[in-house]
């Protein structure tokens, strides 16, 4: 079997008419660098869970994307981050919500999966697991970027004036990765600061298995980005799994159907990355763009920001 890997830096892309050549180059270069870092894990025989963890740590460390360093602010000017990992082997999962402290929230999610019998943890209990796991903690100043702070100020002003538009770059973003390793195992990881000016205590789809994150070796691994409330209500990732399991749909059919129809028609602007048990990758989004990258062993690889919405051709010999 060959490996497959996809990553995303969120559907909260800078609108095409506001993106300059340097910005486009920087985003694509960051995606390519992180893709290569995570691909090296799979190339060297590492497993899918390790590859998605490495990818999401690197995406969290990269301030261009809304997670970890570069996370967006709540309406109260604080940082509340959500993250989840899910393992296709036995649907093991770990997640944290509303936390600020661990440098890499995805490692806190993984610690929940590996060190507790629980799935989703919040508050002091979540931080305690991260501390017990020996994770690096940072002050809030580490996560701060001027761009996200300005986005909060602008969003709050627009909310007050009643002029709030739906510019995705100011409001959204998330990072994630999905992989199939050479043993055929799947894994998914997702991490986010959430939505700019969200109410304190709001939790999105990213840390919820079956909404923004999902993996089962029998079907697919998924990491989503977009209007979290719609992804939760439409159980987006689970819906794709269910269509594959119960209705015999391919991953591509199910993923495109959920994103382009169910979510698009119900306020669920955004997209997702998926890899199926055969290593095929789907990258549907129903908005202007989604920062994304993909790599298949001996197959296609690349990065993209805007449309067209196109899946990489399946690798042969999977």
Please give the residue ranges that form the binding site for ligand ASP (CB under 6 A): 10-12, 172-174, 192, 194-195, 204-206, 212, 225-226, 228, 270
Q: Which residue is nearest to ligand ASP (CB)?
A: 228
Enclosing H/E stretch for 210: none
Distance (Å, whole) CA 146 – CA 265: 34
Nearer to ligand ASP, 94 or 207 (CB): 207
Q: Is 174 designated active site? A: yes
In angstroms, give the least distance from the CB of 287 to ligand ASP: 10
CA pseudo-torsion sign 235, 237, 240, 244: negative
**Cis-peptide, bond into residue 213, ω within 30° of zero:** no
Residue 104 or 223 with smaller CB distance to ligand ASP: 223
Distance of closest approach, residue 217 Cβ to ligand ASP, in angstroms: 25
Residues near 145 by beta carbon (within 8 Å), at least 6 away in sequence: 63, 69, 70
Contact 289/306 with Cβ under 8 angstroms?
yes
Shortest separation between residue 273's beta carbon and ligand ASP, angstroms: 12
- CB of 44 or CB of 165, closer to ligand ASP: 165
Closest approach of Cβ 171 to ligand ASP, in Å? 7
Nearer to ligand ASP, 194 or 279 (CB): 194
Considering the complex, state which of residue 211 and residue 315 has its C-beta at the smaller distance from ligand ASP.
Answer: 211
How buried is residue 242: exposed, middle or buried, by Cβ count under 10 Å (0-12/13-18/19+)?
A: middle
Q: Shortest Cβ distance from residue 102 to ligand ASP (Å)?
A: 18
Classify 306 as helix, strand or coil: strand
CA dihedral 229, 231, 232, 234 (to 10 degrees): 120
Q: How far is the CB of 206 from ligand ASP (least distance, A)?
A: 5
Phi, psi of 96 (to 5 degrees): -130, 150
Total count of residues recorded for the chain: 318
Annotated catalytic residue, options 74, 174, 196, 303: 174
Give the burial string for 153-173 (b: 16+ CB within 10 Å, else e): eebbeeeeeeebeebbbbbbb
86 Cβ neighbours under 8 A, 6+ residues apart? 92, 93, 187, 188, 189, 209, 213, 214, 215, 221
Decide whether 111 or 287 has the Cβ nearer to ligand ASP.
287
Give catalytic residue positions.
174
């Amino acid at each position: 079997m060959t490996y497959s890997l996809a990553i995303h830096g969120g559907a909260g892309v800078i609108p095409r008419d506001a993106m300059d050549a340097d910005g486009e180059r920087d985003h694509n270069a960051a995606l390519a660098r992180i893709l290569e870092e995570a691909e090296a894990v799979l190339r060297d025989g590492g497993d899918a869970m390790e590859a998605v963890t490495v990818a999401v740590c690197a995406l969290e460390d990269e301030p261009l994307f809304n997670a970890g360093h570069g996370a967006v602010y709540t309406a109260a000017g604080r940082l509340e981050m959500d993250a989840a990992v899910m393992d296709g082997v036995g649907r093991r999962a770990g997640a944290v919500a509303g936390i600020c402290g661990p440098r890499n929230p995805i490692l806190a999610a993984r610690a929940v999966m590996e060190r507790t019998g629980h799935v989703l943890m919040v508050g002091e209990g979540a931080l305690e697991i991260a501390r017990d796991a020996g994770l690096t903690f940072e002050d809030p100043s580490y996560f701060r970027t001027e761009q996200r702070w300005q986005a909060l100020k602008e969003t709050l002003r627009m909310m007050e004036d009643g002029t709030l538009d739906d510019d995705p770059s100011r409001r959204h973003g998330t990072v994630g990765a999905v992989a199939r390793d050479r043993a055929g195992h799947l894994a998914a990881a997702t991490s986010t600061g959430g939505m700019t000016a969200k109410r304190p205590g709001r939790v999105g789809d990213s840390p919820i298995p079956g909404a923004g994150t999902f993996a089962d070796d029998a079907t697919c691994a998924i990491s989503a980005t977009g209007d979290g409330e719609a992804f939760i209500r439409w159980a987006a990732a689970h819906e794709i799994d269910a269509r594959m399991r119960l209705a015999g749909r391919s991953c591509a059919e199910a993923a495109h159907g959920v994103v382009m129809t169910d979510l698009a028609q119900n306020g669920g602007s955004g997209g997702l990355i998926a890899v199926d048990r055969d290593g095929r990758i789907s990258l549907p989004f129903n908005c202007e763009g989604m920062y994304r990258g993909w790599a298949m062993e001996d197959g296609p690889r690349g990065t993209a920001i805007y449309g067209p919405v196109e899946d990489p051709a399946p690798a042969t010999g999977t």
